[in-house]
């Protein structure tokens, strides 16, 4: 393995064929931690970053692949992140003519597994604040009128990047800024047929529901977050008139889409219910949930659900929204509060949910 270090200087060779040979060998071993331990002692990260935009796609692809593999090592990931690589990755991931855009997005997803990577992407407090995120969102939503908009598997990694960003407070602030219209433009993708992309969108919704300062925006007529969350878990059963009084008409018996199917993916259902858990954090929203008749939907969903963990979370939400309030601003310190504490602890190791 120690001989791997001798290959790194060949990455700077002027001859493409020499670079390709070195890259091919390094690509084959870079998924091995023993190899990464050797390579982290070299300047391989600097050399690969120089090559990732090479006009020769073979060189570019191998360079990106190796960088992705090196991200499995926390030291190398930190080194890659410090190289101001984010702007170039965004350009590569959003260039519709770039045949390697998915690989650029995959590497950017790895980089934004770190808080530092997310902050670089957001450019907080700088002239380009939110610019890179908006470029990524545009790629996701630019073909909203296309026939395959809700079926295409393209740009799954871009969804994962936005999901990563919403893990931190600064990211949620940008995504939930009404002037950016980022959140509202992503919401239709909750109906995507591809479960990977749908999990990412639901994860974004879940993370954003944690931000209590944005709850008024989330329940605004423009967003109507409760209807967006409840529709995927609304069963096909019939509600009586009392159940539907105050409920959004979209959830009524006669207004379900012809192709309506209840969410079947466990992870999506889990995150949708967790979103509701976060939204019960204030008395104002609990009153609102009673007014718009969240309970009948959860009642029927609970009857059909078989997963015990999801049912337990549903029970907690129902317990909060149907009980009498005992005081202004009362909070519930049950299991959902523990989930909030995990997300809120900025000093905790930065973790993201894979989709």
Smallest Cα–Cα separation from 165: which of 93, 98, 85, 111?
111
Burial classification of residue 287, based on how many CB atoms lie within 10 Å of its CB (0-12 exposed, 13-18 middle, 19 or more buried): exposed
Q: Output DSSP code: residue 154.
A: T
Domain annotation covers residue 28: no
What are the strands, taking DSSP E only, across the chain?
none
Domain annotation covers residue 230: yes
Could you read off the pLDDT tens digit of each residue along the chain, which spans 355 residues? 788 999 999 999 999 999 999 999 999 999 999 999 999 999 999 999 999 999 999 999 999 999 999 999 999 999 999 999 999 999 999 999 999 999 999 999 999 999 999 999 999 889 989 999 999 999 999 888 888 889 998 999 999 999 999 999 999 999 999 999 999 999 999 999 999 999 999 999 999 999 999 999 999 999 999 999 999 999 878 899 999 999 999 998 876 665 667 899 999 999 999 999 999 999 999 999 999 999 999 999 999 999 999 999 999 999 999 876 554 444 434 444 444 443 444 433 444 444 3
Domain annotation covers residue 213: no
Smallest Cα–Cα separation from 291: which of 247, 324, 241?
247
Domain annotation covers residue 248: yes
Domain annotation covers residue 44: no
CA atoms in the 13 A half-sphere facing the CB of 75: 9
Q: How many domains does the chain have?
A: 1
Distant-in-sequence, close-in-space partners of 317: CB < 8 Å, separation ≥ 6 = 273, 276, 277, 280, 294, 298
Which range marks the domain in which residue 278 is found? Answer: 226-346
CB 147 within 8 A of CB 188: no
Domain annotation covers residue 276: yes
Q: Output DSSP code: residue 238.
A: P
Q: Which long-range contacts (CB under 8 A, 24 or more apart) does 285-292 make?
A: 285/215, 285/219, 286/320, 286/321, 286/325, 287/325, 288/219, 288/226, 289/226, 289/321, 290/321, 290/322, 291/246, 292/226, 292/246, 292/247, 292/248
Domain annotation covers residue 23: no
CB 255 within 8 A of CB 188: no
pTM of the model: 0.89
The Cα-based distances of 198 to 26, 107, 190, 202 in angstroms read 35, 21, 5, 6
Domain annotation covers residue 294: yes
């Amino acid at each position: 393995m120690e001989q791997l270090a001798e290959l790194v200087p060949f990455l700077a060779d002027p001859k493409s064929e020499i670079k390709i040979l070195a890259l091919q060998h390094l690509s084959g071993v870079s998924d091995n931690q023993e190899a990464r331990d050797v390579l982290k002692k070299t300047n391989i990260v600097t050399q690969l970053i120089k090559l990732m935009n090479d006009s020769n796609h073979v060189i570019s692809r191998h360079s990106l692949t190796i960088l992705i593999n090196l991200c499995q090592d926390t030291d190398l990931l930190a080194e890659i992140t410090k190289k101001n690589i984010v702007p170039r990755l965004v350009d590569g991931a959003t260039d519709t003519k770039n045949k390697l855009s998915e690989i650029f997005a995959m590497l950017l997803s790895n980089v934004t597994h770190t808080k530092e990577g997310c902050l670089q992407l957001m450019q907080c407090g700088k002239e380009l604040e939110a610019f890179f995120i908006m470029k990524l969102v545009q790629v996701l939503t630019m073909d909203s009128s296309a026939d395959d908009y809700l079926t295409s598997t393209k740009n799954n990694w871009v969804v994962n990047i936005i999901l990563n960003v919403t893990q931190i407070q600064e990211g949620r602030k940008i995504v939930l800024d009404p002037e950016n219209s980022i959140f509202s433009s992503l919401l239709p993708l909750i109906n995507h047929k591809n479960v990977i992309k749908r999990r990412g969108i639901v994860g974004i919704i879940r993370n954003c529901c944690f931000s209590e300062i944005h709850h008024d925006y989330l329940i605004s007529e423009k967003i109507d977050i409760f209807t967006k969350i409840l529709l995927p878990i609304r069963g096909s059963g019939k509600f009586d008139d009392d159940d539907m009084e105050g409920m959004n008409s979209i959830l009524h018996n006669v207004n379900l889409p012809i192709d309506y199917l209840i969410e079947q993916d466990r992870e999506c259902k889990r995150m949708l219910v967790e979103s509701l858990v976060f939204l019960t954090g204030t008395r104002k929203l609990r009153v609102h949930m009673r007014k718009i008749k969240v309970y009948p939907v959860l009642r029927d969903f609970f009857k059909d659900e078989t997963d015990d963990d999801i049912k337990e979370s549903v029970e907690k939400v129902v317990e909060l929204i149907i009980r009498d309030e005992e005081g202004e601003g009362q909070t519930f310190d049950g299991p959902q509060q523990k989930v909030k504490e995990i997300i809120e602890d900025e000093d905790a190791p930065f973790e993201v949910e894979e989709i």
